[in-house]
Structure formats: structure tokens, C-alpha cells
Structure 1
Amino acid sequence: MELRTLHYYLAVTQYHTISRAAKALHISQPALSRQLSDLEKNWAFSCSSVVLVQ
């Protein structure tokens, strides 16, 4: 895992949506979604459930 992926995840938790986080990170929404999907697969948890809890 790269630190960049964790940075992306933290941005999603900060901005509450993937679209807003992608805009703030200056990357496309599909690219951010793909990174979060890879994170979920590697760590066996759902990013969306963690974001909703906060």
C-alpha cells in the first residue's frame, strides 16, 4: 500500500463524498474510486461504512 492511498482515504473522510475529495485532490472521481476499491480489497473492509460512521 502507498501512503498516497491513505491520503486519498483521509480526504474522503474529510470531504464526506468521493466527488468532493476527488476535486480537492485534483484527480478524477473514477481514479479515486479505484484507489479506494483497491484499499478495501487489500485490507478487507468497506471504506463507505467507515466514512458513514464518522
Structure 2
Amino acid sequence: MSLRQTHELHQRRFGRNLGVALTLAAFIVIIFGLTVVKVTRGDFEPPQASTGGQG
């Protein structure tokens, strides 16, 4: 149990860290969402191998 108040510097640092964490989480959600959409649309399929040979 802490009886001392946190220093003002720690409060500012916590606010900055929280902002960075939320920005990073939003970026991850956007990338994950784009990946899900790309996979479900079928844009992620590998090219089909052609069966007709030249030689």
C-alpha cells in the first residue's frame, strides 16, 4: 500500500504510453481486418499451375 502520491512526470509518461498503446492496437486491428477481408475475398490464392506443357 503506497502512501506517497505518484510524481507528475510518471502521470505524463503513463498518458503518453497509453496513447502509444492505443495507436499500436488500432494499427494491428486495421492490418488484421484487411488480411481477413483479403483472404475471404479470395485475393490470397496462389496462382494456378498450368497443365499444358511446351515440351
Larger radius of gyration: 2
Q: Is TM-score (shorter-chain normalized) higher than 0.5?
A: no
Select the structure that is richer in helix: 1
TM-score scaled by length of structure 2: 0.33
Structure with more contact order per residue of length (Cα contacts < 8 Å, sep ≥ 6):
1
TM-score scaled by length of structure 1: 0.33
